[in-house]
Amino acid sequence: MKNIFLLLTLAILAISCANDSKSITSIIESKDLKKIRKQRNELVSEQTAIIKKLKIIDEAISSLDTIKKYPLVTAFQVKVTDFNHFLELQGSVATKQNLILYPEFSGLLKKLFVKEGQKVVKGQLLATIDDAGLSQQLAQMEVQLSLAKTTFDRQERLWKQKIGSEIEFLQAKAAYEGQENAVTQMKSQLEKTSVRAPFSGVIDDIITEQGTVVGAGASQLLRIVNLDNMYIEVEVPEVYLSSIVPGKNVEVYFPVLGETLNTKVDQASNFINPSNRTFKITIPIKNKEKLIKPNLTAKIKINDYTSERAILIPQSIISENSLGEQYIFIADNINKDNEAIVKKMIVKTGKNQGGFVEILQGLASNNIIINEGARNVKDGQSVRILNVENNE
């Protein structure tokens, strides 16, 4: 019976709508402007009446509906926690003992006593250069020195015995001392034909082969490197001049090696480069396995800021208005059914790390912040909180 009644009702409505449509069509086809305007006014009046009725019905539904269709959001309570901010930069490994050796004497590279990869100690003989007869000259000069010394010793004994003239004694002394100085200079010159290790390390590269003619101060012989005394050199923006100081903790990561180590800033430069407004810092590193090489790329994280009582929130829920002010939404007046009123809060932010931002002003530790759904709510709106998350 109910179905028949429903069908009859739908049929009557369909017929009514069809009649109205025909009536409107006939009025338009009559091209009577007065009738057309009258019909339009009647329809507008009907529309206004229907809107008023719908509003009354919606209000009745809202007051009687026990399950209100509020926007669903999640939220979390503000927590005070420790916050360590790290400045991330890239640097290059260097060593204070990475040296290319040049000869001090020109001549034929007579002998190489080392090979690439060989460990050497400070003062070890690495190579010799042909002395072009200097050793023979030194031998002759040493003979002359011996004669000059004998002559001087004899004249000195005679002078002490008051025998002979003073001028003969002084001449013998001058001849001996002059020859002694000449021998010393020749030995010094001859020593330049020997190339010795200035420090302990490893022969990294043999640049000039044995048998090659080399020039003093011009020809590169070999490279010696010490992989113990190494450091990373990093250029830091000048804005961090007061926060990146010696003693700051540093985490160093070598992408090529997949190795991470912890150290500290050793030195900060007192000079700011005017071309890029940076200053240099050095970070010492341990190289027990000798895998870290000069010019190896390193990624570093420096602890430039620490707060023991910081308020952190996800960066994704922060918005900005046309005035450049940053704001978030909190849940206010939460009832037993987890229904709340959205409240807009202007905040002042600090440093960010790992997707979280420190809030310096605008929040209290008991605030409940809207998380998921924060982009879809507005100030004063009613919402339902699904759950309160842990902000960790």
In CATH, what class is 72-83+308-389? mainly beta
Residues 82-98: pLDDT tens digits?
888 888 999 999 888 88
Residues 239-284: pLDDT tens digits?
888 888 898 889 999 999 988 999 999 898 888 999 999 999 999 9
The pLDDT confidence band at residue 8, using thresholds 50, 70 and 90, is very low
Q: How many CB atoms within 10 Å of residue 264? A: 13
Residue-level pLDDT at 300: 92
pTM of the model: 0.54
Alpha-carbon distance of 210 to 128, in angstroms, equals 10
CA proximity to 201, closest of 293, 120, 317: 120
Q: What is the CATH number of domain 99-224?
A: 2.40.50.100
**Mean pLDDT value across residues 207-213:** 86
CA proximity to 381, closest of 41, 71, 25: 71
Q: Could you write out the DSSP letters of every residue in 29-69?
A: HHT-HHHHHHHHHHHHHHHHHHHHHHHHHHHHHHHH-SS--
- Whole-number Cα distances in Å, 370 to 69, 321, 350: 18, 18, 20
pLDDT over 60 at 11, yes or no: no
Q: How much is the mean pLDDT over the chain? A: 83
Residues 45-85: pLDDT tens digits?
888 888 888 888 877 776 666 556 788 888 888 888 888 88
- Whole-number Cα distances in Å, 255 to 251, 260, 292, 300: 13, 9, 11, 11
In CATH, what class is 88-96+227-307? mainly beta
- Delimit the domains of the chain by residue range: 2-64, 72-83+308-389, 88-96+227-307, 99-224
- By mean pLDDT, which of 79-83, 120-124, 164-168 is the weakest? 164-168
The pLDDT confidence band at residue 37, using thresholds 50, 70 and 90, is confident
Residues 23-35: pLDDT tens digits?
777 777 777 788 7
Percent helix / strand / coil, the chain, rounded to 5: 30, 35, 30
